[in-house]
Each structure stands twice: as C-alpha cells, then as structure tokens.
Amino acid sequence: MHTERIADTGDSRHQPDGATVRQLLKRFRLRRLSPVTVGTAAVLIGSYPLLFIAALLPTGHDDRLTGSWLFLAITVASYAAELIAPRVAPYVVGLLNWLQVGTAVRFVFREAALIVLLARVLDVDAKQFAAFTLGLISLHGLRALYSALAIYIVQRRRLPAVTRNIDLSELRIPDPAPRVLTQNHAWKMLFLDVPVLAGGLVTDLTDDFTWSLAGITLAIAVGIAGCAVIAPYARRNKHLGDKDRVLRVVNAQTREHAPQVALYFSGEPDTAYQVNMWLETLARLDRPAVIIMRERLLVPLLGRTGLPVVCIDKSADLMNFTLPSVRVALYPANTGKNIHMLRNRSMTHVFVGHGDSDKAASSNPYAKVYDEVWVAGPAGRDRYLRAGVGVRDDDIVEVGRPQLAGLAQASEDTAAPSGTVLYAPTWEGWDAADPTQTSLILMGPRIVRALLDAAPPLRVLYKPHPLTGTRDPRAARAHEKIAAMIADANQGPAGSGPAGATTSAGATTSAGAAAAAELARIEAQLLKLAGSGRAKRAGSRQLWPDYAVLSRDGRPDPQAEEEWRRLEAAWHRLYWSSAGGPRHRVITGPRPAVYECFNQSNVLISDISSVVSDFIATGKPYLVTNPGGLAEDDFRAKFPSAAAAYLIGPDCAGLDGIGALAAGNGDDPLAGERRQLKRYLLGPDSPDAQTSFNDATARLAERARNPLASQAVDARSGSPGAEPVEAANAQ
C-alpha cells in the first residue's frame, strides 16, 4: 500500500525490482489466495475496461438506462476495490504499479470513461463540454499543486539530523500539519473525482448537463480549499530547508555538552536492542558521552536516556559533523556504516559488541579495524586468539559486563516463583543452511511441550530473540506454534503454572483485563517520558513520528528521570504480579528485558549465545541445547560457555529432572563449576564491571588527549599495548 502510493509520485526509485516482482508473481498461485483476495483483485483489474464497455453501449432509451445503471455499478465497485485492495491484496497493487498502471492512471481511466459516456449519449453545447473537460484537467492541476505543497512540507521537516536531549529552539521548528493533510495525500486527492462521477451519472439519467458542471465545480472548490488550508504550513516550514544552518545549530548545541565518549550505532529497526543495552552503562560513565546514530527509524526505538542523541543519515554530513572533544568511539555492532566514523583518527575506536558469546560473530575478522576490542573476561580474549582473525592480544581489554549489575544471585531471595523456567532461544543467524544455530526450529516446540507437561508443574517464560524468523520462515512457524501451545496451556481452569500459584479462569479474565488496561496506561506514560514518539500502527501501516517534533521536544528533562524509574518499577510489579502472573508467558518486545526475565526464573534453557554468558552471572543452573548432537566433550570444548551447563540433545532427553532443578530440591553437581566459569566468562567480581569500564574509557581518553605522555606511562607500567618512549618520540 505504501509503496504503491509513493510510486504514483513518479519516483522510479520506489518501483519494485526484479526480485520483488518475482515474489509478487508467485503470490498469484490461486491455492494460496483467499476468495476475498481473488475477488478484490478481479474487480480492481476488470472494472476499468468494463467501464469503457458500459460507456459504449447502444444509446437507445432503454439501453441507455441499462448502460447508465451498469456504469454506476461498475464505478462503485472500482472505488470499493481501490479502497480494499491495498489491505487484502497489496501485492496486486504493487504489480499493477510496476506495470505502469498505478492508482493515478486507473483514476484517469475512470474519468475518461465518463467523458466517453457523456459524449455518446448527450447532445451538449460544445462550450459546456469544453468547460467540463477543462475542469477535469484543472482538477488534476490542483491535485498536483496540493501534492507539491505536501511533499514540500514533508521534505522541509525531514531535517538532516534527528536529535534527542539537544536544545533546538534556535531553529524555531513549527508544529506539524495534521496527518490528514499529508498522510497519503496523493491517493486522497484522487478521490476528488467522486463528485465529478456523481454529477456525470445524474446528467446521464436526467439529460441535464448542469449536474456535470456542478460536480466538477464542487470538486475544484474542494481542491482549492485543500490547497488554501495546507499552504500556510508550507510557508511556516520554509526556513527548515536551510540544511547547512540546521547542521550548524545541531553541531554547536552538541558541542556544548563537550562529549568525550561517543557510542556509534547503525542497524535495522530489529537491532535497536543492541544499542539500548549500553544506555545505562554509558550514563554511568564519569565522562560526558553522546550517542551517534545513522538511521532515523532507530531513534524512536531508542530507550530512555538523558544523553544527547544525534542521528545523521548521510555520510557526507556525518564526516563534516565535527566533535573535537570526543576522544573515544564505542561500537556495539559491526556494520558497513562504521567506516564513516572509523576514518576519524582524532579518536580511539573500540568495539564493545552487544554480548559475549561463543558464536562466530563474537570473533569477527572485521574487528581488526578497531584500535581495541573490549571483552567481558578471559574467555573473550581466548576466543579471538583461537579464531586467529588477526586481532592482537595487546588490543584486547577485559572490562566485564556492566549491564549485569542488577541481576539477582541464586543465593538471594528473589521474586522468582519456585519452578520457573526461562526458554530464550537465539535467532537463526545469517547462515540459513545451518539449522543448529538455534534450537527453535528442530527442538523448540518439543522443549516447551516437555516443560508444559512436567510434573510437578513448571511455569514457562518464553522470550525469543528479537530477530527470530527474519531469516528462516521455519523459525517463525516454530515461534507461532510455541505461542499457541502456551496460550492453550493458560486456558485451563486452574492454569498450569507452578503448584500453589494458580487462579481460576474467571478471576484471571476479569483481573487480567484490568491489569492490561493499567499496563497500557503506564506504557503510554513511559513512551511520553522517553521522548521517543514511538511509531503507531494504523491498520496495516506503520505511522512513524514527526522527526522534527521529536527533535524539537526532545530537550533534556532531569525531573523526568525519577518519574521514569518509578513508572518502570510500577510496570514490572504489575506485569509480574497481575492476575495470571504466575502463569506461562510469551514475552516479546523490549519490556520486560531479558535481564528482568533472569530475575524471574530459576533455570535457563538457551542456545549458544550471549544470553548464556550473561545468565552465568546469576549463579543459577542453566541448560544449553545441542541441536547438532555433538558428543558432550566435543560440544563443551567447542563452546566454553557450556562448560558448566546441563546439555539437551536433539531428543530432548536432557530435560529429565529439570523440575527438581527448577524447584531447587534436586542435585546440582555443576554449581561449583558455574562459579569458576563465571570468572572466566565475565571477569573478576572486584573491581566491578562498571569501574573497569570507566577505567578503560579514561585510559583511552587520556591517550587521545596526550598520546605521547600516555604511551610513556604505558611503557613504564607495562600495560597492554605499551610502546617504548623512544618510539613515541620518534613519531
């Protein structure tokens, strides 16, 4: 729907490519299409030639009446198909657009059929008919003018930089035009021909051409009124077209924060969690920091932060966006756009990643481009050495995992009900040919089935990876199957959670509805406080926020921080304690985070991923899936994070005894090994990870400020990466 309407503006960049067209054509296999879809497509495609046939029917009195009513019926059907097709058959709309028979062309067909009908059945004065025809042409001119004004507003408000927590009052950003004026404006304006068609059909039935003239006059009047309403918004946004000035103001305001550390991120919307996990760690730094992003779609998905945020789409704009105070750049992900920041040699570039794991991605050869690679513990260092990807041992620094500071330990009195199991599979990865990357495809439904059928009953928390199903549709189908299984299990009259933690279905229904309403209310307050203006949905379309308003209203508000924390705590309390709280849950989306799920569980089941390494911090038992069926010794040798795990083979036999393990009354022979593995994976408990992270940042900041002095200190102290003072002086 969205692509079709954009393409009508004449921008060929939005035309479907060859691969897209092949996918569209495949969707025409009738066995896959519903009757509603087939019928809508048939009406959409067939109504326009039928309009010309109806317009050319014989002109006898009886035949003429029949033809007029037939023309009216086909016209109504064509309008209905235009309204319905984008929702029920978007691929048909896209294919027609690719064939250069887009919405605008189809509307012109309908109008041309009306002219043919009137010309054949009426004996109209040539001047009147010319006035009617010129009116139709003028109507298209008004449509073009309105679209030009709407596009002008949208483009002016598409600032070259999107910000949060930066004062842009100097830019005088006005309020946006109402969505009804700019959203799908070209498509809406096409429907101005409704009074024209109505007037023409009444003329055909009454032989009074005044109705046609009245219809075209009304359409033109509405078009002029629309242009008059939207024109002031175009004038108010004119000054925002000065791109250089906007960037200068954003640059100057960002410099006022004097940031010394920059967190740089680029990625798809599904990867927002990779930057969100670093927000609190960055906020706790003892040096000012800034967040630099590259895709504006990610800005509304950014979590709550009081740090300045700058998003710059174009590489040339970023390269000219100077922040001389920044001395350290941190990168949570390896992406192609990192090169635009890496070219800046006035700062030290550090890859921090978004989680330590035994996956190949955690020892990517791309890491060679960074000055340093920070890992959690000795395991990360060894991982790069084993991989032999060219990252020097001197460039690897162990800083722990600051994000894990709030995790409850196994020995603590946590809020987790006894017998709670968290199943958190990873996603299918980039290699779709390897089904052992995730347990979800081969084992997921069987694992969950075994947990739901366990005796005594277990409570199941299922939290899939945010990217689940994006590469392999089998993973998406397995996820849907698990969600359905959990929904069915929760339908029981007494639930199927841990013993003694059930409620009646009636109580759950009424109290659950009230809890859901309260959660939604708190969620709305959190979104408002976040200043992110997250996207909303309207039917099948995603309505993203006005980024100019997001930037204008995203000024820092220290008083909101305490309110944010209060509401977040209230949200989590209500989520976990509401009616049905002890029942099974399918947890998707950013809230509750996986760390909150750690605190609510007694045992973890996961795949080889950073989830396993992070869960080690809790000291609780965990199970790791072995979908490939490797021998246990070989599996543990290949994946050190599984050294203290109970393994689950492809037959799921490793789930025996999980009930006792989750209840804490069974044998746990690997408890001692988990304590040793924690230090290997995550580093020592003292100093804490946040302190280590701060110290590492301070060391690089000082090195960037005074490289010769810092190298001399490194040489005297024997720290990793030290160079002789003579070599530094020679440089």
Query: Rounded mean pLDDT of 182-194?
Result: 88
Winning range, highest mean pLDDT, from 131-135, 230-234, 303-307, 701-705? 230-234
Residue 8: what pLDDT? 36
Alpha helices in 405-542 (DSSP H): 444-452, 473-489, 505-530
Does any domain span residue 307?
A: yes
Residue 664: what pLDDT? 73
CA 343 to chain centre: 28
CA 483 to chain centre: 21
Q: Does residue 510 carry a pLDDT above 80?
A: no
Does any domain span residue 460?
A: yes
Residue 34: what pLDDT? 75
Residue 89: what pLDDT? 83
Of 561, 581, 601, which residue sits at a domain end?
581
Nearest to 544 by CA among 162, 29, 17: 162
| Rg, the chain, Cα only | 31
Residues 602 and 626 in one domain: yes
Residues 249 and 221 in one domain: no
Read off the pLDDT band of 95 (50, 70, 90).
confident
Residues 616 and 576 in one domain: no
Q: Does residue 248 carry a pLDDT above 90?
A: yes
Structure tokens at 476: 């998406």
Does any domain span residue 507?
A: no
Read off the pLDDT band of 234 (50, 70, 90).
very high
Read off the pLDDT band of 539 (50, 70, 90).
very low
Least confident of 338-342, 460-464, 536-540, 592-596: 536-540
Residues 349 and 237 in one domain: no
Does any domain span residue 513?
A: no
3-state secondary structure at position 317 = helix
* Furthest CA-CA distance within the chain: 107
Read off the pLDDT band of 722 (50, 70, 90).
very low
pTM for this model (two decimals): 0.77
Read off the pLDDT band of 500 (50, 70, 90).
very low
Does any domain span residue 509?
A: no
Residues 346 and 364 in one domain: yes
Does any domain span residue 511?
A: no
Does any domain span residue 512?
A: no
Read off the pLDDT band of 235 (50, 70, 90).
very high
Residue 531: what pLDDT? 56
Per the listing, tokens 């009147």 go with 128
From residue 599, alpha-carbon distances to 402, 416, 425, 502 in Å are: 16, 6, 17, 20
Read off the pLDDT band of 9 (50, 70, 90).
very low
Residue 661: what pLDDT? 80
Q: Does residue 328 carry a pLDDT above 90?
A: yes
Residue pLDDT, tens place only, 655-693: 877 877 887 776 888 888 888 999 999 999 889 999 999
Q: Does residue 3 carry a pLDDT above 70?
A: no
Q: Using a CB cutoff of 8 Å and minimum separation of 24, what contacts does 183-189 make?
A: 183/543, 184/5, 185/146, 185/147, 185/150, 186/5, 186/8, 186/9, 186/104, 186/143, 186/147, 186/150, 187/5, 187/8, 187/103, 189/142, 189/143, 189/146, 189/147, 189/223, 189/226
Number of domains in the chain: 5
Residues 298 and 381 in one domain: yes
Read off the pLDDT band of 492 (50, 70, 90).
low
Read off the pLDDT band of 718 (50, 70, 90).
very low
Does any domain span residue 560?
A: yes
Residue 486: what pLDDT? 92
Percent of the chain with pLDDT over 90: 34
Domain ranges, residue 441: 406-502+582-682
Residues 183 and 138 in one domain: yes
Domain CATH code at residue 282: 3.40.50
Query: Rounded mean pLDDT of 145-174?
Result: 94
Of 405, 420, 441, which residue sits at a domain end?
405
| DSSP H/E element including 311 | strand 309-312
Q: Does residue 434 carry a pLDDT above 70?
A: no
Residues 400 and 527 in one domain: no
Structure tokens at 625: 């899936």
Nearest to 125 by CA among 213, 187, 57: 213
Read off the pLDDT band of 511 (50, 70, 90).
low
> Who has greater pLDDT, 396 or 35?
396
Residues 547 and 674 in one domain: no
* Contacts (Cβ under 8 Å, ≥6 apart) of 578: 511, 512, 515, 516, 519
Read off the pLDDT band of 522 (50, 70, 90).
confident
Q: Does residue 479 carry a pLDDT above 90?
A: yes
Query: Rounded mean pLDDT of 282-290?
Result: 94
Residues 274 and 377 in one domain: yes
Query: Rounded mean pLDDT of 195-212?
Result: 87
Work out the mean pLDDT of the chain and round it to a whole number. 82
Least confident of 137-146, 245-254, 361-370, 610-619: 361-370
Residue 556: what pLDDT? 67
Residues 698 and 552 in one domain: no
Of 552, 581, 610, which residue sits at a domain end?
581
Residues 276 and 375 in one domain: yes
Least confident of 180-194, 502-516, 542-556: 502-516
Q: Tell me the torsion sign for CA atoms 589, 593, 596, 602.
A: positive
Residue pLDDT, tens place only, 398-425: 999 998 887 877 665 455 567 889 999 9
